[in-house]
A and B are shown apart, each in its own frame.
Chain A
Amino acid sequence: MSVMTSTTSFAPELRQRRRPSGFAYIAPALLLIALFFIVPIASLLLRSVLEPTPGLSNYAELFGSWTYVRIFANTFLVSALVTLLSVIIGFPVAWLLAIIPNRWGSVLFAIILLSMWTNLLARTYAWMVLLQRTGVINKTLINLGLIDQPLVMVNNLTGVTIGMTYIMLPFIILPLRGVIKDIEPGILQAAALCGATKWQCLWGVLIPLALPGIASGALMVFVMSLGYFVTPALLGGTANMMVAEMIAQFVQSLVNWGMGGAAALVLLVVTLLLYAIQLRLFGVGRIGQEGQ
């Protein structure tokens, strides 16, 4: 065969590294990330300690001013509320979705995916219309005689909470469904055979077994909520602004890059810290695997 005769022409280094290290494969992506992710973010954070004068004055102002501290507090409050509601509403649905045997399960699943993948602005727009003073919800409540005056549900905490919970629900239902699906049904049968009532099974077995999934999902929703921009900006009011909108305002309206950078750094540090906790406790396994 001609194969054998052509062997001598190969360079000696081919012998040494028949399987390359593979670093070359990630080089293009790494270049992109370095140039358009690390550099811009690093320079934004640098501006927070350099503008207008070098030092920590921006941070002093950020943490010294009641206005800004209140925005941070409000952000945490809304995020916590949204997380709590998402878990309480999401857990039963995830549970049903994990065990439902018939076609209705796929229908429910499709609805969740549809709501998750429908354009964010379209969904937020729907809630703006639904919740407005003359909206369907107010009109229905008045017609039923439950209220006399229309409720104020937009440009305040109520609107933001409803809108955000709506958006976050799929992000807790889908991973939690996976966690519950992975629980061995025999364990619950064993618990029932041991004489546990349904309530005891739920609180003593099912929820503890699902707890890592609940905690992981809750942490993810909380982190996502902290930095959310669109929905709070549209459904919330100026009185309860959240951090992401504040950063945008620093940069766009006030052209104060120093303060914008400082607020961004605080948000980034909190987010990455919680993300690190998430990775530490639950591993990278489930993140991003759900969805389609």
Chain B
Amino acid sequence: MLLNFDKLGMWKWVLTGFSVLVALFLLVPILFIVALSFGSSQWLIFPPPGWTLRWYQELLADPRWLESALTSAKIAIIVTLCSVILGLLASFGLTRGRFAGRETLRALFLTPMIMPVVVLAVALYAFFLKIGLNGTLLGFVIAHLILALPFSIISIGNALDSFDRSIEDAAILCGAHPLEAKLRVTLPGIRHGLFAAAIFSFLVSWDEVVVAIFMASPTLQTLPVKIWATLRQDLTPVIAAASTLLVVFTVVLMIVAALLRKGFKS
């Protein structure tokens, strides 16, 4: 009864009403910054006295914004590639391996996901100071890879778990070399896991703030660091413009993910 929406009676409306409020709570701040980014008020007055594209012009006029966005994209793409490849290999080992301590190793690989990022950030910062990787692209990639890898291992591991190994065995008996069988049969069979791993890894790196704050140098900073630094000075509407572009990007990514998932199902 309580699990049948149509038989909830009055409760149906209470529950729906409450959920609408929560949905508004979740949605309104996002719509709010989108609106403000087009508002003419420097002081973020709402509703805005007029509409303007000035903040977008300012955003694009400052080369540091674009530069940091490109840096972020570059790092995120490299991280995505490495994370999917390493995650794929590790998942094969963890789900199919026959060595001792597999469960312990799995827990170890997933630890960066659950531990406070600030601890990793401080530790890596100290370590990179010593070996000279602070403020370098490689340093960013390594740090983000550590954070992204658990998401890859979970996504690909789940896909691999539900992929029947007999299918790969069948390909091998058909005459395919074990490697060929993996490439031509197993990989297409777990492609939804690979795509999920790629999207998660990209987002983890693209949105990562904490490690980046510690590692950024004046010459190399990611987009979140640029936003952070600007935020600490004042609440300029330029950030609203940047945030709006990030929201649009998220929506596009979500649509792509949904379309891909639909494609895999058919």
Judged by CB atoms under 8 Å, the answer to whether A and B touch is yes
Contact of B126 among A40, A125, A192 (CB under 8 A): A40
The answer on a CB contact under 8 Å between A127 and B29 is yes
The answer on a CB contact under 8 Å between B146 and A114 is no
Kindly state whether residue A68 has any CB partner on chain B within 8 Å. no
State which residues 1-55 of B face A: CB under 8 Å. 1-6, 9, 11, 15-16, 18-19, 22-23, 25-27, 29-30, 32-33, 36, 43-46
Task: List the B side residues contacting A202 at CB < 8 Å.
Answer: 2
Task: List the B side residues contacting A110 at CB < 8 Å.
Answer: 254
- A216 CB to closest chain B CB (Å) equals 13
Contact of B86 among A29, A41, A291 (CB under 8 A): A29
State which residues 117-148 of A face B: CB under 8 Å. 117-130, 132, 134-136, 139
The answer on a CB contact under 8 Å between B224 and A119 is yes
Using A19-B98, A25-B92, A121-B227 as known contacts, say yes or no to A227 and B26 having CB atoms under 8 A apart: no
Using A21-B99, A92-B18 as known contacts, say yes or no to A201 and B1 having CB atoms under 8 A apart: yes
Q: Which residue of B lies closest to A127 (CB)?
A: B29
The answer on a CB contact under 8 Å between A117 and B250 is yes
Using A25-B89, A96-B16, A188-B1 as known contacts, say yes or no to A247 and B150 having CB atoms under 8 A apart: no
- Contact digits for A228-267, partner B, Cβ 8 Å, 1 yes 0 no: 1110001000000000100110011000010010001001
Contact of A40 among B107, B110, B124 (CB under 8 A): B124
Using A223-B114, A268-B115 as known contacts, say yes or no to A43 and B123 having CB atoms under 8 A apart: yes
Q: Which residue of A lies closest to B175 (CB)?
A: A3
The answer on a CB contact under 8 Å between B1 and A192 is yes
Complex formed: what's the CA distance from A153 to B60 in Å?
Answer: 32
Q: Which residue of B lies closest to A95 (CB)?
A: B15
Kindly state whether residue A277 has any CB partner on chain B within 8 Å. no
Q: List 30 A-B contacts (CB under 8 A).
A: A21-B99, A22-B96, A26-B90, A29-B89, A32-B145, A41-B120, A93-B18, A96-B16, A108-B23, A110-B254, A120-B207, A121-B209, A122-B30, A125-B227, A125-B235, A129-B32, A129-B33, A135-B46, A136-B46, A198-B2, A201-B2, A223-B114, A247-B118, A248-B121, A248-B122, A251-B125, A264-B119, A279-B107, A284-B110, A292-B200
**18 more A-B residue pairs beyond the given contacts A89-B22, A292-B196, with a C-beta to C-beta distance below 8 A:** A21-B97, A22-B92, A26-B94, A26-B105, A29-B149, A30-B90, A36-B124, A36-B143, A93-B18, A93-B19, A96-B5, A119-B227, A120-B209, A123-B30, A135-B46, A198-B11, A267-B118, A268-B116
**Lowest 5 A-B CB distances belong to which pairs?**
A227-B116, A22-B97, A25-B93, A122-B243, A26-B93
Residues of B within 8 A of A (CB): 1-6, 9, 11, 15-16, 18-19, 22-23, 25-27, 29-30, 32-33, 36, 43-46, 86-87, 89-90, 92-94, 96-99, 105-127, 142-143, 145-146, 149-151, 153-154, 158, 196, 199-200, 203, 207, 209-210, 213-214, 224, 227-228, 231, 235, 239-240, 242-243, 246-247, 250-251, 253-254, 257, 261
